[in-house]
Amino acid sequence: MKLYQSYISVVIALIAFSNAQAQVEEESELNGGTITVVKPYDPTISDAFKVKSTPSVNDTTKVKKKPVTYSIFSVPVASTFTPAKGKLSRRKAPKRAKFFDNYARLGVGNYVNILGEFAGNFEIDRDSDVGVFFNHNSSQGGIDDIAFDDDFSDTSLDISYGKRNRDSNWGITAGGRYQTANWYGVAPVALSSVPTGIEVDAGTSYLTIGLSGKAQFFDSVLEKVEVGLSNISSGNDGSETRVRLQPQLAFEVLEEEIALGVEVDYLTGSFDTQGSLPAPDAYSYLNIGANPSINLYGDKYKVELGARLNYITDSENSESNFYVYPDINASYILMEEKVIAYTVIGGGLDMNTLQNFADENVFIAPAITVAPTNRQVDAQLGIKGKLSSNFGYKLYGGYSLEENRYFYTKDNNAIFTGIGVERPSYNYANTFATQYGDLNTLTFGGSASVDLNTQFNLTLNTQFMSYDVTNGDDFDNVASQLPTFTADIVGNYDINDKWNIGTTLYFVGERDVFRIGNTTATETLDSFIDLNLDINYKINPKLTAFLRGHNLTGGNYQYYLDYPVQNLQILGGAVYKFDF
């Protein structure tokens, strides 16, 4: 009952206050007076219980409401204005570039250089497709003042199949590659031994076949796995087979990301034909490795702590070794985006292969020494960042220590003593051998990139190297064929929707090269600049014409000792893009 009475008392108090406030406002408006509120009324629950009766209004001044009348004076106005109906304004969307699944490229140039490419993608169903890629690059040669032919060719074909589903993606690739070249780099001291009036076939070749597969798994401890099988054989009865298995695992321990990479790498090869510098007839290595790592993150830092462990066996020499290397990647933000300090401290066991040597220097001898390199330390410290939205940079210094590192040394006219036997084409001081020593390298470098807009970008890279070779007494501890300075500039400019121009400029500093054979010597190759231009004109969305200029400034410089390259090269052709 008391609660009910209290409720009535509160309601009465609020009504009384509202009537009083309304009357004050009315007087203020009509009489032009000013009311000053010293303290606004702020009722509480306890105040309501003090009200014992309904308050009465004791107003000494009664003001009558003044009547207010309104009148409208309406005058008709003649108007000829007719408002137009509003229309919805729409922004014209930019025209999207048309992308095609396939393309074919064909180009022809001087030295009878021929370039051919084809890339095709065939969709089998929604989740699977087949890809085909073909590449051919050849030349009939024509370099002046050389003893043998200098034609070459490089042809490859890859066919792949890919499958995608909710839990994983996987694919397999089968391919082949055929390379041909000539040992035309005869040393000056051996030119007198080249027969006159007789054509010497100085050709060499390599055939590679391979099968590889890759699978990626989602929401699984096994993140991905890669497998590969390849074989390379030379025209001089050299052969090499390699089998690789590389699973990658990822999981969490105490809310920390842990990664574990595993590698099984088997390499075996043999040579039936020896060059001027004897090499082992066969080699066989089994490398088993593991790469655990943990990722640590903070507001300003990121650290990947890891290690590489390798156990390798040399079956031919009945030897085995165990190696442990650091694997650390760290970065710290000094100034947001502008200055980021970073360091990389690593190492590893590099499996040198006949395939890698043939790709890097096709002028190697029929038989070479193939052995792994123990990269004990490979460290880099530097800063990088973006000073503005269109300018990035990187400055660094590095140090590496490699044990049993390979060097290319040049044959220097070994004596041929065969009687009544045709002299082999690789016995004219025209091949390279691989010899091994320990290499310490100190590196300083930098790079800068400029992207003024989507139409223009430019990148500059430079590197200074200082070498110290030990345990290479057979070649006088010379860092043979290694440059002390390199630089390159790569640029691209879209002039308009039709025209595009790209350029690359390479600078390679001087290189010392060691000659082996009857007499030994160290020669220095001159530095060179190689400028290349690539001009493209889009005739229509499907057809583009191109014109390329290679070695516009270098002349017949020598990258490898005694092997001058082709001079100014011009190649033109077209690219056709299409869908099946």
409-462 pLDDT, tens per residue?
998 865 555 555 578 889 888 999 999 999 999 999 999 999 988 889 999 999
pLDDT at 255: 77
- Mind giving me the DSSP string for 205-242? EEEEEEEEEEEEESSSSEEEEEEEEEEEEETTSEEEEE
pLDDT digits (tens, 9 = 90+) for 377-421: 999 999 999 999 899 999 999 999 999 999 999 988 655 555 555
In a domain, 97, yes or no: no
Whole-number pLDDT of residue 401: 98
Please indicate, yes or no, if residue 68 is contained in any of the structural domains: no
Q: Over 80: is that where the pLDDT of 1 sits?
A: no
Which whole number is the average pLDDT over 78-93? 53
Residue ranges of the alpha helices (H) in 372-459? Answer: none
Task: Write down the pTM of the prediction.
Answer: 0.80
Residue 418: the pLDDT is: 53
What whole-number percentage of the chain has pLDDT above 90? Answer: 69
Residues ≥6 apart with Cβ < 8 Å to 338: 385, 386, 387
Distance (Å, rounded) from C-alpha 521 to C-alpha 480?
11
Confidence of residue 192 (pLDDT cuts 50, 70, 90): confident
Instruction: Answer yes or no: is 32 within a domain.
Output: no
pLDDT value at position 92?
57
Greater confidence (195 vs 467) lies with 467
Least confident of 66-70, 139-143, 243-247: 66-70
> Does 343 have pLDDT greater than 60?
yes
Output 512 or 67, whichever has higher pLDDT: 512
CATH number at residue 448: 2.40.170.20
383 located within any domain: yes
Per-residue HEC secondary structure of 490-517 comes to EEEEECCCCEEEEEEEEEECCEEEEEEE
Which of 17-26, 96-105, 452-461, 531-540 has the lowest average pLDDT? 17-26
Mean pLDDT (whole number) for 566-576: 96
Residue 63 pLDDT exceeds 50: no
pLDDT, position 563: 96
Whether residue 577 has pLDDT greater than 50: yes
Q: What is the pLDDT of residue 200?
A: 85
How far, in Å, CA of 442 to CA of 429, rounded? Answer: 32
Indicate whether 46 pLDDT > 50. Answer: no
In a domain, 6, yes or no: no
Average pLDDT of the residues in 65-81: 47
pLDDT band at 146 (very low <50, low <70, confident <90, very high): very high
* Mean predicted confidence (pLDDT) in 257-277: 93
Q: How many CB atoms lie within 10 A of CB 301?
A: 13
The mean pLDDT of the chain is 85
Q: Rounded to the nearest 10 degrees, how much is the dihedral formed by the CA atoms of 337, 341, 347, 353?
A: 40
Least confident of 90-94, 104-108, 164-168, 171-175: 90-94
Is residue 259 a contact partner of residue 248, using CB atoms and an 8 Å limit?
A: yes
What is the Rg, in whole angstroms, of the alpha carbon atoms belonging to the chain? 40
**Is 531 inside a domain boundary?**
yes
CB-count burial class (<10 Å; 0-12, 13-18, 19+) for 192: exposed
| 37-41, 80-84, 338-342: least confident range | 37-41
Number of domains in the chain: 1
Task: Say how far apart CA 511 and CA 529 lie, in whole Å.
Answer: 14
Within-domain flag for 265: yes
**Does residue 54 register a pLDDT over 50?**
no
pLDDT score recorded for residue 87: 56
Position 160 scores a pLDDT of 97
- Rounded to an integer, the average pLDDT of 562-571 is 96
How confident is residue 82, by pLDDT bands cut at 50, 70 and 90?
low
Task: For residues 303-319, give the mean pLDDT.
Answer: 96
The band of 67, judged by pLDDT with boundaries at 50, 70 and 90, is: low
Asked whether residue 46 is assigned to any structural domain, the reply reads: no
Per-residue pLDDT at 389: 87
What pLDDT does 49 receive? 41
Place of tokens 């191109």: 546
4 compared with 287, residue with greater pLDDT? 287
**Which residues form the domain of 382?**
116-578
pLDDT (0 to 100) of residue 84 = 54
